[in-house]
Structure formats: C-alpha cells, structure tokens
Chain A
Amino acid sequence: MSMRCENVRREISNYIDGVIGAAQRQNMDDHFKSCKHCTAVLEGMRNVISLAGDSRAHKVPAGFSNRLFSKLSPHATAERSPSPTDEIPIGITGDSVALGSHLIYFWESQAEFERGVRFVESGLQRHEHCILFGHDEALDRASQVLRSSGFSPEQLVRNRELTVLRRHASAEITLSDIEAVVEAAVRAGSPAVRFLGNLGMGRSPLPAGEDDVIQLEERVTAVISRFPCVVVCMYDVRTLPGRLIVKGGLQTHRLAVCDEGLRENPYYIPELHSAHRIHHVQ
C-alpha cells in the first residue's frame, strides 16, 4: 500500500537527514518513483539546503568587519584621552601631522637617532599604540633609547601599548604583519597608531633588494591610508646607497622631518602610489 502524499511530505526533511527507519525509507522511495509532486518537494528541499549552507550565500558587506568591534572600544578607551583628533604631534619637531601621513627622517648620528625615537615616546605618552619596526640592531637601539627615557619596553609590550616588529626578508610577509598589527590595535580601541620604521643596508635580516624596499614603502602608504596611522621612516644614511635614498626615501614620502621642522618633500612623486594601487586592485 503506497503512502499518502501528505505523510510523505511530512517526513521528507527526516528522509534527507537519514533519520527514518529502513522500512519507511523504502516506502518513500517507492512513492517518489510514482509521484512527481513529492519528488519536486524533495528536490527543491535538497536544493535549498545546499544553497543555504554554502558560504557564498552570505557575503559579509563592506565595512562590517571594521564596525564589528565598535562596542568594545569604549571599554578599551575609557581610561584614555577622550577624543581622538585628526592630527597628532610628531614629537621629533614641534609639528603635528594628519593621520595617514607617511614621513621620511634621515639620520646619521646617535643624537639624530634618539631624536627620531621621540616620535614613539610622544605616542606612548598619549596612549597611542606604537610599533617599532626594522632590522635587529635598530630595534635594540630604539629599545635602549626608550629605556634611557624612563620607559620599560618589556612592560609596554606586555600591556599591548608597544609592538616590536622585526622585518622579514620579504616585503610581502612584512606588509601583512604590519597590517595585522595595525588593524588589531585600532580594533582594540587605540585612537591612533604610530609606526617607526628603520631602514639600513647590511643589517640583519636583509631586505631582498632595493626594489623590495621601494615596494614596501609604496605599499605602506596604501595600507596606512585605511587606518588612523602615522608612519615615520628612519633612513640610516651611513649605510644606504644613493639610489635607495632617492627612490625609497625621497620619492615615496610626501613629508620630510628636517632639523628646522617638517617640510613638504619636493622630490615626492604621487603618481608612483596611484599607479601601484591600480596594479594591486587588478
């Protein structure tokens, strides 16, 4: 005796999940052979289940990720300065710069190096997350400068106020590290992120080459344009070749920190960045 359509349809969901007895399954199989309506219900249900369970069905909209942690921020910033501003003091000179700025600072003497580290000290005092980046020697040296100024880099790192980021030989890996740290710091409520990059040739770990350095500089500009971040790149003029100082230093930074203050850099080539961005979108 064949099952009634009504009884079959009631059980189709369980049939698909395989939670009905063997005898009933046999009866339903027999029924489907002769009933195109119940077969249509079965096929439609299977189709809908496979569509709903596919990750492509639920595309996360643009901006969702950035807003997801927004309710955490008041908890993170309760003890901090009340309102993040669009400009922050760079500490090296008396100037302030807009968030998103990418600055070049050439140094030669120990005093000039220490002056550059003031960019980080100023940020730490303002409870802005700071990132020290570069080759091993520069990181050690910058940590010593911080210690001599009364900071404890170890404690700051434990408190998530400072991140010490060692460069990789590959710009690609380095860049994804930078992006992940900046993103995490912003999501955790830091009103601004300061990034002090150090570049010197002949220091471990070595960049893959000059092109690698230039690529990194260009892409850092693209990354920070999406976050409330300011980057200062310290170039060790004692070790860097002229080509790198021109291509990596002068042509990729809009602003230069000079003895007398902050200067628009006349050698900056904005087209480099736009051409690069188009290339990466494709």
Chain B
Amino acid sequence: MLESLQAVTERAMSSSGSSMGARNKLSSGFGADDAERALLQRACEGDKQSFCLLVQPYEAVLYVTATALTSTDGDAEDLAQQAVLTAFLKLPEFNCDNAFRTWLIEITIGEARHRAKGDSVSVVDQTRHAETEYLPENAAPWLNIPIEALEGERFRDMLRSALRSLPANYREVFVLRDVHKLGVAETARILSLSEPEVRSRLSGARLRMRDALAYKYVNGSGGNTLERRVS
C-alpha cells in the first residue's frame, strides 16, 4: 500500500481541528499528540513538507512574536522567516516532552537577540532600558476599551505601536507573559532572568502599555473611533 503525503496532511488536519481554523489560534499547545509526533519524526529526518505542516498552526504565534520584537513590518517578516529556517535546522535538538509552540517562540526570541547584537538590521531597538522604576503618567479614570475594538485595523495598529514603543527588554517580557500567556518560570528560563526580574519588568511594561493605550473609545455615528484621552 502506498504511503502518501495525504495521510500526513489528514493527520495534521484532524489533530488541530481544521487546518484553517488552527492557524489563527494563539493559545493552542503542542501536546503529546501522536500525529504531531509523527510529523515531527519525519521533519527531523529532513522532510520539509512535514515540517511545514508542523509549523503551520503556529503561524500567528510567529507573527506576533516577530512583530513585537522588531520596529518595522518588513523586519518582522524577515525575522519570522529566519526563525522558521533556524527551527528547521535545529529541529533534531527539540525535546518532544516540551511544547513546540514555546520552542518556536524561544527560537524567535533568540534570533531577535542575535540580530540586535550584530546590529545587521534595525531590528530591535538597542536600548536595553535601565531598570529604573516607572510610575504611571495617567491616573485619570480609565474608560474601558471594549474587546470589539480589536476588530478594527486602527486599534490593532495602535496596540502594535504601543508594544513597539516599549524598551526591548520590557517588550520581551510582555510578549511572553501577556500575549503568549507563558508562566513566570518559563519566561525567566527563556530570557535568562530571575523570576523577580521578570515580575519587575512585567510591571514596568504593563504600566507603559497602559499609558500608551489611554484612549477613549467612542461609539459615534461615523463608526467606532478612539480618541486620545486627556490626563
């Protein structure tokens, strides 16, 4: 009986729900699923098609990580592509007991740091911010930004700009903890920090993000808009 890529593809689809639906999930874990292990096994042997199928459900994870760690969309794409290549080359080092999603995030962080060091592209801003205390600029009553704001391109742009306005070392912590929901211990391991350092940077990052997004969400006749709030 002929084996085929179809069998592999089908397993990949059934294990991640529908292939299309799974692509945009940020929170799907890898797990010890047999189908994914089979893909992993083939990919480790150098099969690029299996590797592509393995990575596809995590495209959104790669996108958001790379976007947060770079200054421009072009750099973000380049970083994500480099991370995919590095992941492919390092795949035999991947330990099946760990989450593949976390491993991809870790590879992307490593690539971003590597680039910042080499300064080959204007990727991550070089200012590793001094660990000074940050206190909120704006303590006016907070007007809730509803989750529906995320449906609009404009607010998503604002969120991306806010993230990119953070010093690089704060960005890393915020992305791992609040975007990807990794635990403090895992974040500390990936970033080679102590847990108190993670908590302290996260606090600074969250306060800065809050100030950067102190907008008033207005539901007006011309559609939903966001206005800068006056302190």
Report A's interface with B, CB cutoff 8 A. 6, 9-14, 16-17, 19, 36-38, 40-41, 43-45, 47-61, 64-65, 67-72, 75-76, 139, 143, 153-154, 157-158, 160, 163-166, 176-177, 180-181, 184-185, 187-189
Contact = CB atoms under 8 A, between A and B. Distances in A.
Contact of A10 (B3, B5, B133, B179): B133
Contacts of A164: 2, 4, 6
Contacts of A6: 135
Interface stretch (B21-29, B93-101, B113-121, B124-132): B21-29
B19 to A, nearest CB: 6
Contacts of A187: 48-49, 52
Nearest to B199: A14
A100 to B, nearest CB: 21
Name, among A57, A58, A67, the residue most crowded by chain B CB atoms within 10 Å (CB to CB). A58
B52 A69 contact: yes
Interface string B201-224: 011001101100110000000000
Given A45-B206, A53-B179, A54-B150, 8 more contacts: A9-B135, A13-B202, A44-B210, A49-B206, A51-B147, A55-B25, A71-B81, A180-B19
A243 to B, nearest CB: 30
B13 interface: yes
A50 B199 CA distance: 18
Nearest to A158: B3
Contacts of A10: 133, 203
Contact of A45 (B23, B53, B210): B210
| 7 shortest interchain CB distances as A-B pairs | A13-B203, A37-B139, A188-B48, A58-B64, A44-B142, A56-B150, A71-B85
18 contacts: A6-B135, A11-B203, A14-B199, A43-B144, A44-B210, A48-B209, A50-B147, A52-B179, A53-B179, A55-B26, A56-B147, A58-B63, A60-B59, A75-B85, A139-B2, A160-B47, A177-B9, A184-B52
B174 interface: yes
Contacts of A166: 6
B159 interface: yes
Contacts of A13: 199, 202-203, 206-207
A157 B3 contact: yes
B145 interface: yes
Interface of B: 2-6, 9-10, 12-13, 19, 23-27, 47-49, 51-53, 55-56, 59-60, 62-64, 67, 73, 77, 80-82, 84-85, 88, 133, 135-136, 138-142, 144-145, 147, 149-151, 156, 159, 163, 174, 178-179, 181, 184, 199, 202-203, 206-207, 209-210, 213-214
A166 to B, nearest CB: 7
Contacts of B3: 154, 157-158
B82 A71 contact: yes
A57 B178 contact: no
A184 B6 CA distance: 10
Given A51-B145, A181-B9, A58 B4 contact: no
A216 to B, nearest CB: 16
Contacts of B140: 40
A188 B178 contact: no
Contacts of B145: 47, 51
Nearest to B28: A55
Nearest to A57: B150
A60 B73 contact: no
B231 to A, nearest CB: 11
A57 B51 CA distance: 27
Given A43-B144, A185-B49, A12 B2 contact: no
